[in-house]
């Protein structure tokens, strides 16, 4: 079973994402991450997907900033409290591959307050 949620319905509209990287949290632009290197990135969750991967429930969030996107994958999870479309977060971990895209598997993460909450 595959569940997919996106923020907003107009995919053609400019994405509501933070600027390239948030130096206040020590993040680098997503466009600068490299495969098999540790990285710390910040951005906004554009979409969430839940589907099994090798028989294990898997939550995949697409994290974007002004420079690109990266999959943040949580193995063994159908949901992670606080993470949904529009959530601003910082993720840190080893960059690898998931489904042909750069991804972080089970990264350390911090949820950031949105401009509306601040």
Q: Which pLDDT tens digit goes with each residue over 63-96? A: 999 999 999 999 999 999 999 999 999 999 999 9
pLDDT of residue 115: 57
Contact 70, 102 (CB under 8 A): yes
Contacts of 41 (CB under 8 A, 6+ apart): 21, 27, 28, 29, 30, 33, 63, 65, 70, 90, 91, 92
Task: Annotate 31-66 with DSSP letters as a single string.
Answer: GG--TTSEEEEEEEEEEEEEEEETTEEEEEEEEE-S
Q: Which pLDDT tens digit goes with each residue over 30-47? A: 999 999 999 999 999 999
What proportion of the chain, given as a percentage, has pLDDT over 90?
Answer: 64
Which tokens belong to 108? 């350390």
Of the candidates 117, 114, 111, 2, the residue with the CA atom closest to the CA atom of residue 60: 2
pLDDT of residue 36: 95
pLDDT of residue 110: 96
Which tokens belong to 105? 């598997």
Can you tell me the distance from the alpha carbon of 82 to that of 41, in angstroms, rounded to the nearest whole number? Answer: 18
Which of 11-15, 48-52, 53-57 has the least mean pLDDT?
A: 11-15
Residue 13's pLDDT band (cuts 50, 70, 90): very low
Domain ranges of the chain: 18-112
CATH of 18-112, one of 2.40.50.140, 1.10.760.10, 2.60.40.10, 3.10.450.50: 2.40.50.140
């Amino acid at each position: 079973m595959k569940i997919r949620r996106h923020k907003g319905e107009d995919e053609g509209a400019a994405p509501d994402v933070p600027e390239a990287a948030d130096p206040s949290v020590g993040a680098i632009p997503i466009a600068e991450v490299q495969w098999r290197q540790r990285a710390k990135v910040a951005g906004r969750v554009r979409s969430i997907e839940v589907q099994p991967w090798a028989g294990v429930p898997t939550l995949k969030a697409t994290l974007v900033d002004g420079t690109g996107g990266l999959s943040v994958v949580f193995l063994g999870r159908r949901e992670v409290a606080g993470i949904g479309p529009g959530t601003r977060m910082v993720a840190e971990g080893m960059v690898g591959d998931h489904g042909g895209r750069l991804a972080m598997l089970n990264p350390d993460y911090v949820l950031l307050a949105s401009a509306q909450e601040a």
